[in-house]
Structure 1
Amino acid sequence: MKTDIREKDDQYELAVDLPGFKKDEINLDVKDGYLTISAQKGLDKDEENKKGRILRQERYAGVCSRSFYVGDVKPEEVKAKYESGVLTIALPKEDARKCSSCNTITIE
């Protein structure tokens, strides 16, 4: 899965190339701070070629997945769109956590 990650002012945007997949073959899951993208493709054996006998047919069949650590993001805050073979995911940006009781460590 070729992926581009862009940082914008208020969000991160992931663009994942998934050519040849249908929207219902792609799954997104947010669990324990990780966003997991998985896509599964099977072979369609129901199709018949009425114009002749198929001598060779090459199609990808299998599963591919990718995980990214995204922190404490709620699933309802994640927006996703699939268009022209590219899955675009928008993740909200967390405010930088400020340390209220930071301790300085002395280097020896």
Structure 2
Amino acid sequence: MLIRNNFFNDFFGDMFDDPFFNRGYAPQTQLMKTDIREKDGQYLLEIEVPGFTKDDVKAELKEGYLTITADRKEPVERADERTKYVRKERYYGTMKRTFYIGEEITENEIHAAFKDGILKIMIDKPQPKKIEEEKTIIPIEG
């Protein structure tokens, strides 16, 4: 029985180390993929945070930077001698993404919603400020 267990551990370990199973696997680059669109006077950010809940995700605006933070703790499992992980790929921990949106944007111009692992953030586009020309009368001597 011991030989058989070692065989299966080595077999699965070798199998998952094979480049075929690891093709394109770069967990840090796969997290928080974002699409940004412009529509109807707003910017729409759609940020993937799969496996996270609304309570795991936080959006913060500071000095023109919008920072999205997602934090997920690994569940505490009871010790079980019969179960052993061969591979763990699900992400636990904290990830963060920051976007510069400009200092003229306030929190009142940002709206967020979370559904099905997608965080949608709508940012009102800043309206161009009208510069009124001040006319100054220059006295003409003579």
- Taking structure 2 as the reference length, the TM-score comes to 0.61
Q: Is it true that 1:81 corresponds to 2:108 in the alignment? A: no
Other-structure match for 2:50: 19
C-alpha distance in 2 between matches for 1:27 and 1:14? 14
Q: Whose RCO is larger (CA < 8 A, sep 6+)?
A: 1
Identical residues among aligned pairs (%): 40
Counterparts of 1:53-68 in structure 2, within 5 Å, are: 53-56=82-85, 58=88, 59-68=90-99
Q: Distance in 1 between matches of 2:109 and 2:79?
A: 45
State the Cα RMSD in Å: 2.2
Give the distance between the partners of 1:70 and 1:100, measured in 2 at CA: 26
Deviation (angstroms), 1:98: 6.0
1:2 aligns with 2:40: no
Tell me which protein shows more helix as a share of its residues. 2
Larger radius of gyration: 2
* CA shift digits 1:83-106 (9 cap, x unpaired): 1111000000012356778xxxxx
Runs of at least 5 residues in structure 2 that lack an aligned partner in the other structure: 1-31, 134-142
What is the aligned length?
A: 99
